[in-house]
Structure 1
Amino acid sequence: MALKNLLALVVLLGLVGVSVSVLDLDFYRHKCPDAEAIVRKITIQYVSHRPSLAAALLRMHFHDCFVRGCDASLLLKSANKDAERDAGPNLSVRGYEVVDAAKAALEKKCPGVVSCADVVALVARDAVIVIRGPWWPVPLGRRDGLISRASEANLPSPFLPIDALKKTFADKGLNTKDLVVLSGAHTIGISSCALVNVRIYNFTGNGDFDPSMNPSYVRALKKRCKPTDVGKSVDMDPGSVKKFDTHYFKAVAQKKGLFVSDSALLNDFETKSYIESQVGNAESSFNKDFSDSMVKLGMIEVLTGTNGEIRKKCAFVN
């Protein structure tokens, strides 16, 4: 009932580009009743051995949905290296092998039935569950896109200020609360020194660091990231990267956000208020809020009915 109420609310609010009414929690009940169980089994096998895949698969879902909607266009390969996955922001996306393994298992059981887009949505949810993060319902029935262009991969940049971030999310039908809640996924994320070095070594071109950052955090980052480091990884939630919790919001409140886009959340009344509400709150609403926002994310500009196709292999159109 809660999901139905959420879907009705989404319709009333006019969520951009979403075909809500044709996604269904029981979409595969007759044609592939074991679909979710198959995907969950494969996801558990991979993520239990490599827990860092949880953040990677969650990020994959986000990156896919923000470009042409949740249509698995991110998974398509191009001989000319000009597909979405070849765009700069997507070169560090990983976890394709999990989706491919789940899809292969589904094709053996129910050939030509379950879309890659639905698999991406399911593995993201199930991967988070493996690391004891929140569960959310995943309505199904998405179809796979036929087009994938690197030039269209205009994803939210980690260097964006708050107004630009809000607009980027609003363009996809996500509101300011969704922005701050989904940013909370950084609680399990990692990035690279390449994306933070300018911020800590030469922010204005005068050998300085971003003044919006906690000086003690800058010193810690400099120990991890030397000026010439580009490949070394760095935690996005210092001190709690292996646990899906509200610690990220505490870090941001202490001016320890890794990216400009993290720190920018303190520059808006609504996002700052949400952060403050989660810090030190024994009855945090974050898990429920995250679940609600993930349902909305998974419905962005979905293809349904006779649009798109059901790919046999996720990396190639049929």
Structure 2
Amino acid sequence: MQALCYPQDGPEPAPYDATLALEGGGVRGIVTLRLAAEIEKRTGKCATDIFTRFSGASIGFFNCLALNYPNEFNRPKYSARAAMGLFEEAMPQIFNRTVLRTILSANGLLYSKYPADGLEKMAQKYLGNTPLNQSIRQILAPAVNLGPEKAYTFDSREPSSILMWQAARAGTAAESYFPSYTLEINGKTHTFCDGGTYDNTGLGVDYPELFKAATTPKNIFVVALGTGETKQKISTRWSGSAGILSWAPEILPVIFDTSKSQDCQNFKQMLPDNFKPGAQHAFALLEPRIPFSESALDDASPENLQKLVESTNKYIEDHDEKIRDLCKALGEA
């Protein structure tokens, strides 16, 4: 499962500023990896040779780390296609619980639905003891600091002793799904959970970097990969008077979609939604429509993962021109 990239020294400095943002969404993260694999295939380059910065929330952060995990030549150890294989292996281990835990946690109402064991084991297995600041490209990821600071951004360019797997564990502790994670950073103890509730696309934490890039003559490109859009909505017949037990299972996808809608709207106001060849600045969101039956964040069955990939393949086929223009613009930039 090695990368398709040649084993040469790290990526060349790019003459442009390009962000790849990977949305959170549990097992639906395989959708963003499939889309990233298509971009790598069409450009003939690794994602780290195309994009100068990565951002992602929750599983999107985990996927960013996988794509930026260096081998001994400071090249990506995993291509996006290889990362898909790791993903398919890891998800059943991560979203795994006993019948007793299901009962005692009241299916996540009393405490987290899943233990942290599988998540930590898989993070350590695939990301090892590599420091976060050794990622090939800069990675930004939102998290919620349960201390006084509240919002927090993991930035791989900041000096610290955080390991990649520790950052992945802290940034993917989705509320009600996994326990929070306590981590010491530069002598201070912090307790983190998933930042997807306020920035599920990872685009929000990229704003400051985008504004910096806007002061340079560089072209600016932003590509956001979504984990799948569904048409399911909360019924207005009862939602207005529903209590927490009725709201809780339904509201999280609404929060995620609202965050994504706002972020994408903001970026479209700043950058043209047009990746035609020769474009100097552009933004694009690639995201398939998926059936509600495939939308669960924690259905890690091989059958569901395969359906998600098939839905993404259909999206790629139906949006061939858009993806072709995007890849050509990035390849020629």
TM-score relative to the length of structure 2? 0.27
User: Which structure features the higher share of strand residues?
Assistant: 2
More helix by share: 1
TM-score, scaled to structure 1 = 0.28
Structure number with greater CO (CA < 8 Å, separation at least 6) is 1
